[in-house]
Structure 1
Amino acid sequence: MATKKQKNWWVYLILFAGILLMLIPLLVTIISSFKTTREITGNFFGLPEEWTLANYLRLFEDGVIQYFGNSALITILAVGLIIAIIPMAAFAIARHMDRKKSFAIMYMLLIIGIFVPFQVIMIPMTKLMSQLGLSNITGLVLLYLAYAVPQTLFLYVGYIKTIVPKDMDEAAAIDGCGKFTMYWRIIFPLMKPMHATVLIINALWVWNDFLLPLLVLNKDQKMWTMPLFQYNYQGMYFSDYGPSFASYVVGIIPILIVYLIFQKNIISGMTSGAVK
């Protein structure tokens, strides 16, 4: 009698094919970063005749550290503010929306932003940021915080209503904890799986985002992020592919490390936060 694994061999075959589809472009990018442009154009999928770090050395000479630092700073600040501020709003809404219509209305108005296409607000947003003098890193971080509210609030509210019982609030109150103390010492630590999920989702978005930095930061080269640098770098050296591939590898490594660290908590956070 065939086992269940033998019957589902085609499932493993599809998964293996999917893994190859994801890994092959990554491996080609990494290998190409150690090849000369002549080797890339002559034998794109082959191994380099001689492994070289010249592409990376040239990349560092062209100031990649500054743009890497800009992206890192923006990502850390934006994700830090998202995780520090939005869960507080989510906790207040989750605890009161069933009893007070004002909280339910506020919640609906905030998450309705999920359905607003970015193209609709792109031009007004750019003009407003320019008029406020926020066409800089500070303004970009605030924009990321604002745009993260709908989806992140939805996830946190669902997680709190599903996973964090109200009995904990009452037990903490009996022990003499105020609202603020109760939230930071009891409720906030209980949301670690959702924190990990939100961190990965938003870190990936902020680190790889191209359009918002293009609209807000493109006027000043010193404030470029890694995607902006890669876009302009490829334009400057359109016939020299080696340094471009090296810049892609440098941009991939940090977010890949963050994902590997927090990936254990992602699935539990996503499934729990999307129940209600």
Structure 2
Amino acid sequence: MKRQKQSNWWVYLILFGGILLMLIPLVMTIISSFKPTREITGNFFGLPQEFTLANYERLFQDGVVQYFMNSAFLTIAGVALIILVVPMAAFSIARHMDRKRAFAIMYILLIIGIFVPFQVIMLPMTKLMSTLNMNNQFGLIILYLTYSIGQTLFLYVGYIKTIVPVEMDEAAAIDGCDKFTMYRKIIFPLMKPMHATVLIINALWIWNDFLLPLLVLNKDQNMWTLPLFQYNYQGMYFSDYGPSFASYVVGIIPILIVYLIFQKNIISGMTSGSVK
């Protein structure tokens, strides 16, 4: 055992190096958020000569709370709608795709959207949303649901086919449960690890998304999200790095807390469907 541990020292060395590569940018972002822009441009890797909260005060003066709440609303509403709608479709497809060709074709058509580059549909999507007068937060939430279907449906269908046996449906039917009651009380709670996985994947995407809000919400500054607000500090000839790094810290904290809360369920959800 001791020889095995000694022979694996390089594995721990690589892991330690990976940890440093991930932590160094985070630490430098936090440190830079307490430095004025002139210090950041003059000596990026140095410690601040004097820690200052001026960057955070600037954020609040510029209305960061409003943009933070806009991002929080879009993230919570988008993820809730995804977890509410997609598992129902996944359950129906998973139970019928092996026996009915229509469900298999529907499944293929839905997940094929994963392979369509966003740049291909970007301009038609913008034109359609403008024509429907949906250049608002409601329209953006619908878009998040639409673009999440491919990947999320793929994850849920694989999880249901592997982890949730058909015998549970039969047992529930014998007990007198209708389809919706069976799904709501039995199937949906059993998918908790996959719910956590889907929550983190989509929450991280929606919270950090820049392009869709830029295309849909850019006409009204009051509807800006946090990434759009952060971009406001970047100019063609000058970038105000102090408030930028402070805004990055504000943006990192919520998603980091959510990840730490659900990390065990995420690992379970990603591994449960890998072995039958």
In the alignment, what sits opposite 2:56? Answer: 56
Which whole-Å deviations, capped at 9, do the CAs of 1:123-158 have from their partners, x for residues lacking one?
Answer: 100000000001111111000000000000000000
Alpha-carbon distance in structure 2 between the residues aligned to 1:239 and 1:267: 39
1:259 aligns with 2:264: no
1:151 corresponds in structure 2 to 151
Q: Which string of whole-angstrom CA distances, capped at 9 and with x for unpartnered residues, describes residues 189-211 of structure 1?
A: 00010000000000000000111
> Which letter does structure 2 place at the counterpart of 1:244?
S
Residue in 2 that maps onto 1:78: 78
Deviates more, 1:99-108 or 1:230-239: 230-239
The aligned counterpart of 1:270 is 270
Q: What aligned pairs does 1:8-157 form with structure 2 within 5 A after superposition?
A: 8-157=8-157
The Cα shift of 1:38 comes to 2.6
* Contact 2:233 2:241 (C-alpha < 8 Å) held by counterparts: no
Contact 1:155 1:274 in 2 (8 A): no
- Hey, what does 1:187 align to over in structure 2? 187
Q: Distance in 1 between matches of 2:224 and 2:102?
A: 41
- Cα RMSD of the aligned pairs, angstroms, is 1.6
Q: Deviations over 1:195-243 (max 9, x none)?
A: 0000000000000011111111111111111111111223399343211
Moved more, 224-233 or 75-84: 224-233
The alpha carbon displacement at 1:270 in A equals 1.7
Instruction: Please list the CA deviations of residues 165-202 of structure 1 after superposition, one character each: whole Å capped at 9, or x if unmatched.
Output: 01111111111111111101110000010000000000
TM-score where L is the length of structure 1: 0.96
1:92-147: CA deviation from partner (whole Å, max 9, x where unpaired): 00011111111111111111111111111111000000000011111110000000
Q: Is the 8 A contact 1:55 1:243 kept in 2?
A: yes
Percent identity over paired residues: 83
Distance (Å, rounded) in 2 between the aligned partners of 1:190 and 1:149: 20
Alignment match, 2:203: 203
What is the DSSP-based 3-state SS (H/G/I as helix, E as strand, rest coil) of the residue aligned with 1:234?
coil
**How far apart, CA to CA, are the structure 1 residues paired with 2:100 and 2:272?**
24
| Number of equivalences | 276
Ranges in structure 1 where 5+ consecutive residues have no aligned partner = none
Once residues 193 and 147 of structure 1 are traced to their aligned partners in structure 2, the CA distance between those partners, rounded to angstroms, is 22
Task: Determine if contact 1:87/1:156 at 8 Å carries over to the other structure.
Answer: yes
Which blocks of at least 5 consecutive residues in structure 2 are unaligned? none
Cα deviation, 1:10-29, whole Å, max 9, x if unaligned, reads 11111111111111011000
Output the CA distance in 1 between the equivalents of 2:38 and 2:108: 56
The 1:235/1:78 distance shift into structure 2, 3 A limit, reads same
Rounded to whole Å, the distance in 2 between the matches of 1:143 and 1:99 is 31
Q: Is residue 34–residue 53 contact of structure 1 (8 Å, CA) maintained in 2?
A: yes
Q: Which residue of 1 aligns with 2:174?
A: 174
Deviations 1:60-117 (A, max 9, x none): 0100011101100000000000000000000000011111111111111111111111
TM-score by length of 2: 0.96
User: CA, structure 1 residues 120+240, in 2 after alignment: closer, same or farther (shift >3 Å)?
Assistant: closer
